[in-house]
Amino acid sequence: MKPAAIHAFFTTLRDANPQPQTELEYTSVFELLAAVLLSAQATDVGVNKATRRLFVVANTPQKILALGLDGLESYIKTIGLFRSKARHLLETCRILVELHGGEVPRTREALEALPGVGRKTANVVLNVAFGQPTMAVDTHIFRVSNRTGLAPGKTTLAVEQQLMKRVPPEFAVDSHHWLILHGRYVCLARKPQCHRCAVSAWCDFKPKTLA
């Protein structure tokens, strides 16, 4: 995909959705961090169902710690890998309280030092909470970037690096939301919905499914 096509690609996505948002539900930076940590290999819908119950009673690191492992697990047991996620979240809360005054840090280094927080999770928090132009490459962004020719790469890191180079600055902050939503609802894994794709004109996917 050539630079002119990339600009048109994102202009079209922006025009259709000027203020894209994450589909995870949260009301604070800590709730966002917790929700993203819990969302690994799980759907946003499933995470939201659990956190609606959890955040009513425990929406700070201190309150999560007060629940203890068994208490936390009882709220998130419907989420895949809930036992390991509960341990990671509790340990993350302990570190936030002991090292960061109960606040979520604003640096990649500090975020990635938290248990259960990898590069993708850190990118989401840095972008959504703090407005940094990061690229949280999940399966949807990886697929869309490769399929369309926007930012081909064999690994998520390679795709992220390509996106950081190729996405025009004016679209950088919101671009990962547009790509996630496009992959989730239009550029599907098994059969992309090319017949209703607003950006198909700039897509390099040759076997477009127009029917």
CA of residue 56 relative to chain centroid, distance: 23
Long-range Cβ contacts of 107-115 (<8 Å, 24+ apart): 115/87, 115/88, 115/91
DSSP-assigned letters across all residues of 30-46: HHHHHHHHHTTTS-HHH
Whether 174 is catalytic is no
Question: What whole-number distance in Å separates Cα of residue 83 and Cα of residue 116?
Answer: 12
State the number of CA atoms in the 13 A half-sphere of 211 facing the CB. Answer: 1
Query: Nearest 5°: CA angle at 18, between 173 and 138?
Result: 45
Q: Could you say which of 120, 154, 165, 191 is catalytic?
A: 120
* Structure-token pair, residue 181: 């939503």
Concerning whether 15 is annotated as a catalytic residue, the answer is no
CA distances for 193 relative to 16, 186, 196, angstroms: 16, 5, 6
Q: Which of 138, 174, 204, 208 is catalytic?
A: 138
**Catalytic (active-site) positions:** 120, 138
